[in-house]
A and B are shown apart, each in its own frame.
Chain A
Amino acid sequence: MGRLGHEPFGPWPGRFSRPSYKALYLLSDFEGSRRMTGHLQSVERVLSAPIDLNGTGHYVHWGVVQLSVANLVVIGVMVVVFVAALLLPFPRGRGR
C-alpha cells in the first residue's frame, strides 16, 4: 500500500509525490508555516523521526478485537503508571 508523502498515490501516479504534497501543505497553512522558525522546524524533524505518522496505522488483531498499536501503547503506559502508583513510596508531609 502506498504511504502518504513517500510514494505516489491516487489515480494519477506521480502527481501527488512528496514535494507537491508538501507544497499543498504549505499553501494551505502558509501563515502558520511562515511564522515557524528554522529552530522549530529542526525540532519538528527530530521529534517526527522516531515515529512516522505519514503511513497507515498499525493494528493488532485478536479474534473480533482490533486495536491500534498506539492505543495499546497508551494502555500499557496506564498499567505501568497504575503499578508504580501502588509501589512507589509517597513523600511524607512536614509535621505529619
Chain B
Amino acid sequence: MMSEAGGGWTGAVRRRAERALPPAKLLPDTQPAYMASWIYVFGVLTVAALIVVLVTGGVLALKGPAWWHVSGTGKYVNSLHLWSVELFMFFMVVHLWGKFFMAAWRGRRALTWITGAVCFFTSIGTAFTGYLVQQNFDSQWIAGQAKDGLNSVGIGAFFNVLDFGQMLMWHIVLLPFVLSLLAVWHILLVRLRGIVPPIDAVPDPADGPTREAAQ
C-alpha cells in the first residue's frame, strides 16, 4: 500500500493542488459580503465573453473563409465572433479600471494583477492579428500600416504582418493558446488568494493574519 507521502511526482502534485485549492475554495458557493457590487461582475463577464470568442472562433476555423464570407450562417457566426470580442475588451477594460482603483495587488495578489495585465496585452495582440486576417481592404490597410511600424523596431522579419498564413496561425493557434493558459492561471490565482477586499474593509479574523499584520 502506498504511504501518504508516496505516489511519485503525480501524488506530490495532487497533494499540493489539494492543499492549495480544496474543492470548496476552487468552486465556492458563497462570496464575501463586500462583493455585493456591480463592479465585481465584470471579471466573470469577461470570462463569459472569452468563452463565446473561443467557441465562435473554433467554428470559423472548422468551416473556413469560403463559409464565413459567402454563407448567411457563416456571416452570422463571424459577426458573433467580432461582437463577442468587442464585449470581451469592453468588460476587460472596466474590470481593469475597477481593480486598479481598488489596488487589487494588495495582500500577496501581485501575480494575480500581473497575469491579468499580461492577459490584457495578449488580447490586444490577438485582436490585432484578427483584424489582419479579415481578408478585406481593411486588413490590407492595417497590414500596410503595421508593417512600417514593426519594421522600424526591427521585428518585421520575424513577425511579418504581410504574411497572411503566419498571421492566421498567430491568431488561431499561438495567441489563443497563450491567452487561454494565462486566463486559467489568472482565475486559479483569484481562487487561491481570494477576491481583494475594499481598501477600507476591516479584516475578518477568520481569514487569518494579513501580510501587513504578519510583518
Contacts and interface: CB of A to CB of B under 8 A. Distances in A.
Contacts of A31: 70-72
A86 interface: yes
A29 B94 contact: no
Judged by DSSP, the binding face of A is helix
Given A90-B36, A90-B38, A92-B36, A85 B71 contact: no
A35 B72 contact: yes
A82 B75 contact: no
Interface string A70-96: 000010011001101110101010001
Interface of B: 30, 33, 36-39, 41-42, 70-72, 75, 90, 93-94, 97-98
A47 to B, nearest CB: 13
Interface of A: 29, 31-32, 35-36, 74, 77-78, 81-82, 84-86, 88, 90, 92, 96
B38 A85 contact: yes
A85 B37 contact: yes
A84 B42 CA distance: 12
Given A82-B98, A86-B38, 16 more contacts: A29-B70, A31-B71, A32-B75, A74-B90, A78-B90, A81-B90, A81-B94, A82-B94, A85-B38, A85-B42, A85-B94, A85-B98, A86-B39, A90-B37, A90-B38, A92-B36
Contacts of A85: 37-39, 41-42, 94, 98
B7 to A, nearest CB: 40
A36 B71 CA distance: 12
